Amino acid sequence: MNILALDTSTEYLSLALLLDGKLHQREILAGQSHSQRILPLLRELLDEAGMELRDMDGIAFGAGPGSFTGLRIGCGVAQGLALGAELPVIGISTLLALAEDAIEADKVIACLDARMGEVYQAVYIKQAHGWQEVIAPGLYKPEAVPAVEGNGWTGVGSGWQSYASALQHGYGEQVAHTVPGAYPRAAAIAALALPAFMEGQGRPADEAAPVYIRNKVALKTSERLAKASAA
């Protein structure tokens, strides 16, 4: 099975082709230039592999949580490509992708910096059949993240870089190792999407949708004034 995977949920742009088990990938620090760079980079990747979009069996994308703009770009590109090539799509959690990419870790606290003094976080344990979601993706203050049971956890993602002190204080010795520089990668998204595509879980392109979690990015002027008055 051939899968195209992409992620634009952070400042990184990550693309991957999983072609019958063989991986081709491109990753760059795109900043805010994802929309300008994703299609040329994809063309390079397809040319490298000697493939065309029509040779794919499905498209997987990082559905979120993450940057609002980045998620819209990733979902939109996946949707457009899938419509044009008549391919099914699957959205994969960016936090689950962090867990998948954590080498040799089977107990993961995946945490992305959500800006505005908050983090996106989910907790996973690896089982024989795949990852078990222990705590679903949510939005938290770093000092108020949900508790976990037991020790031997691995903390993965930019939240462990931006809010290391608060998170370490909250979990203490329960966390044995951290990978603070990790970001959601298309290779992990492809690996997670493969069994889902094989089981026929791909959806029509028009059903592709990002997962925001935070419903509101900015307050209206009246809301800011009200919040300031209440402080």
pLDDT band at 61 (very low <50, low <70, confident <90, very high): very high
Least confident residue range of 31-40, 84-93, 166-175, 217-226: 217-226
Residue 5 has pLDDT above 90, yes or no: yes
Q: Tell me the C-alpha distance between 134 and 186, whole Å.
A: 23
Least confident residue range of 64-73, 77-86, 198-207, 209-218: 209-218
Architecture of the structural domain at 2-93+184-207 = 2-Layer Sandwich (3.30)
CATH no. for 102-179: 3.30.420.40
Which carries the bigger pLDDT value, residue 177 or residue 223?
177
Look at residue 42 in the predicted model and tell me its pLDDT.
98
Look at residue 125 in the predicted model and tell me its pLDDT.
98
Q: Tell me the C-alpha distance between 133 and 65, whole Å.
A: 15
Residue 216 has pLDDT above 80, yes or no: no
The residue extents of the domains of the chain are 2-93+184-207, 102-179
Q: How far does CA 150 lie from the centroid of its chain?
A: 26
- Tens digit of each residue's pLDDT (9 = 90 or more) over 92-149: 999 999 999 998 899 999 999 999 999 999 999 999 999 999 999 999 999 999 999 9
Q: Tell me the C-alpha distance between 82 and 76, whole Å.
A: 10
Query: Is the bond preceding residue 40 a cis peptide, omega within 30 degrees?
Result: no
Residue 224 has pLDDT above 60, yes or no: no
CB 49 within 8 A of CB 79: no
Look at residue 214 in the predicted model and tell me its pLDDT.
81
Determine the 3-state secondary structure of 99 from DSSP. Answer: helix
Which percentage of the chain shows pLDDT scores above 70?
93
Other C-beta atoms within 10 Å of 2: how many?
17
